[in-house]
Structure 1
Amino acid sequence: MEKTLLSLGHGYSAAYLAKRLVPQGWRIAGTTRDPDNFTALRAQGITPLLWDRDAILPWLENASHLLVSAGPTETGDPTLALLKADIAAQAARLDWVGYLSTTGVYGDAQGDWVDESAVLTPATERGRRRVRAEAAWSAIAGLSLHIFRLAGIYGPGRGPFAKVRDGTARRIIKPGQVFSRIHVEDIALVLEASMSHPKPGTAYNLCDDDPAPPQDVIAHAATLLRVEAPPEQAFEDAELSPMARSFYAESKRVRNDRIKSDLGITLQYPDYRTGLAAILAAEQTKP
């Protein structure tokens, strides 16, 4: 049977999954709201679709797998607003549905460890939207739903190197503050493994093995670049946007045992040091 993936809100993480699947012969369609993205999508081997029900529906009716990356807004989940009845009608036929959520649903654990059994007590409005979206997707009867709670995503083009190089990186110190993160290639690895071994109704944390204070990551990036790390700055004295400040409202260490026990995952980048080193090495080998 031909494998067909419909990627709704096709973005950074979905692109890395596509890089794994296209060489295996998968048919993939990805949505975008901007026609200017069509050329880039086609270059990935993906059929581009506008965010329009008439454009999406023929693919939904023939897809074997569905990946949802589009995040909720203040008005709710955009995918369900556009396609809820259509997805419900196809639920029994879909082999696998993946919804990309966030570890922000757990809220603040004051630096303690959390796993997928933790109570969802988000501390931010973004987190509360995600909890509502997870519940709305889970309420669709018969859907082979898998929820992936992503920690901070980094990878090629998304990391601290650019800011360290241009002098805009900051080492903001908030005692006890710690974050989990995940390399984008490991996100794709986990998604592919789940698609091969579906376990409907399961939530997975996607993070590496080494939660760390954000200032440590900046300092290590500077070391790799052989430049001086930016000076430390107290959180109370830092001028931060409301969005940036909200990230510091939550401190937790996220467990990833389930992706290892259920899916047999061995992370390619188990900590930020191996991940950053690989990104820099790839940059330096580009022509």
Structure 2
Amino acid sequence: MLAVTSQPSRCAELRAAGAIPLVADLDQPATLARLARLAQIVVHLAPPHSAGEKDQRTRNLAAILPERATLVYISTTGVYGDCDGALITETQTLQPHNGRARRRVDAEQVLRGWARRRSGRLAILRVPGIYAANRLPLERLRKGTPALVAEDDVYTNHIHADDLARVIAAALFKAAPLRVYHASDDSQLKMAEYFDLVAKAFDFPPPPRLPRAELEKVVSPMLLSFMSESRRLQNQRIKQELGVRLHYPDVQTALRAMIATGENVEQRE
């Protein structure tokens, strides 16, 4: 397995994980030439730039992908925008509300175009919040960053990193061409409920609650954007079409497993 990185300093880490590192940079098309000969099965994880309306990195990748390659693209559920808490399927109309989401929509469209022109096999995974033992909001809880009061709160969606890896592996071999999948668990939690679960599991006080009008004054614009979109994800496609059995079907199950390992909170930071 090849792992592409733009940072030579990561090569040892990737080798230790069992991958063969290849230094290339999606921002520098000239460095991608070797990929055109080597990449027949690709997992595209790279995020777009932090500004603009287009994802030039994905455009650079699509330009060198070989004919009939298989590609799984890790997109985001932010492409749907705010759905007012509705339970949605993969056919939901895309209404991206910010630049990050619009760049993801652009990447999806670019890759669909590549797949149609080059007979590529493309699957798009729309992924919500990824968590794991080392990806919990512990620092936020330490700082006492407030959450929304219940009447203003939003639904969020989650997937454990290990389960996401299983979905990716299944999509590489079982996904229908040009198919979209929600890589999400079964949780249906509001954001503050998620923070409360993590706080309780690791003996932190629950975050204080503020009405939206007050919270807007004390959190960053980026954090506020995550607290302004509410949706729940239907995930039957990954189960019925990809045959994925989630090891962590909800956040509560994963937190219990983390506690059972005996690791302490400081080791996760």
Query: Is the alpha carbon distance of 1:183 and 1:130 closer, same or farther for their aligned partners in structure 2, counting shifts above 3 Å?
Result: same
Structure 1 stretches (4+) deviating beyond 6 angstroms? none
Structure 1 residue 77: deviation in Å?
2.3
Task: Name the % identity.
Answer: 31
54 and 78 in structure 1: CA distance in 2 versus 1, 3 angstrom threshold: same
Q: 1:85 aligns with which of 50, 58, 63?
A: 63
Which residue of structure 2 lines up, in the alignment, with residue 110 of structure 1?
Answer: 84
- 1:268 counterpart = 2:247: yes
SS at match of 2:259: helix
Maintained 8 Å contact 2:154/2:228:
no
* Contact 2:153–2:227 (8 Å) recurs in 1: no
Partner of 2:38: helix, strand, or coil? coil
Deviation at 1:160, TM superposition (A): 2.3
Change (3 A) 1:85 1:224: closer
Does the 8 A contact of 1:160 with 1:169 survive in 2?
Answer: no
- Superposed CA offset, 1:57-76 (max 9, x none): 33441333101111222353
Indicate whether 1:277 and 2:256 are aligned. Answer: yes
TM-score normalised according to structure 2 size: 0.86
**Which residue is 1:159 aligned to?**
136
Decide whether aligned partners of structure 1 residues 283 and 77 sit closer, same or farther in structure 2, where only a CA change above 3 A counts.
Answer: farther
Distance 2:34 2:120 in 1: 19
Say whether 1:64 aligns with 2:64: no
8 Å CA contact 1:70, 1:78 repeated in 2: no
The 2-side partners of 1:151 and 1:243 are apart by 16
Aligned residues: 254
TM-score, with length taken from structure 1:
0.81
Q: Find the counterpart in structure 2 of residue 191 from structure 1.
A: 168
The one-letter amino acid of 2:67's match is A
Q: CA RMSD in A?
A: 2.1
Render the CA deviation track for 1:255-284: whole Å, top value 9, x for unaligned.
101111101122111111112222333352
Q: Which amino acid aligns with 2:120?
A: L
Unaligned runs of 5+ in 1: 1-27
Residue 224 of structure 2 is matched in structure 1 by 245
The answer (yes or no) to whether the contact 2:187–2:251 under 8 Å persists in 1 is yes
Query: Does the 8 A contact of 1:123 with 1:249 survive in 2?
Result: no
Alignment of 1:221-260 (within 5 A): 221-238=198-215, 239-260=218-239
Per the TM alignment, residue 230 of structure 1 is displaced from its structure 2 partner at its CA by 2.8
Q: 2:101 aligns with which of 103, 117, 127?
A: 127
Q: Tell me if the contact between 1:138 and 1:145 (Cα under 8 Å) persists in the aligned partners.
A: yes
- 1:162–1:261 CA distance, 2 compared to 1 (3 A): same
Matched AA of 1:175: D
Alpha-carbon deviation of 1:38?
1.6
SS at match of 2:189: coil
**Residues 29 and 47 in structure 1, CA contact (< 8 A), matched pair in contact too:** yes
1: CA distance, partners of 2:175 / 2:223: 36
CA contact (8 A) 1:178 1:214 kept: yes
Which shifted more, 44-53 or 99-108? 44-53
Contact map agreement 1:220 1:273 (CA 8 A) in 2: yes
Q: Is the 8 A contact 1:259 1:265 kept in 2?
A: yes
Aligned to 1:17: none
Partners of 2:109 and 2:30 in 1: how far apart? 26
Shift of 1:184: 0.8
DSSP 3-state at the match of 2:195: helix
Contact between 1:111 and 1:176, CA under 8 Å: does it hold in 2?
A: no
1:122-175 Cα distance to aligned partner (Å, 9 max, x none): 1222111111111111011211110000011111211123433x3444333362
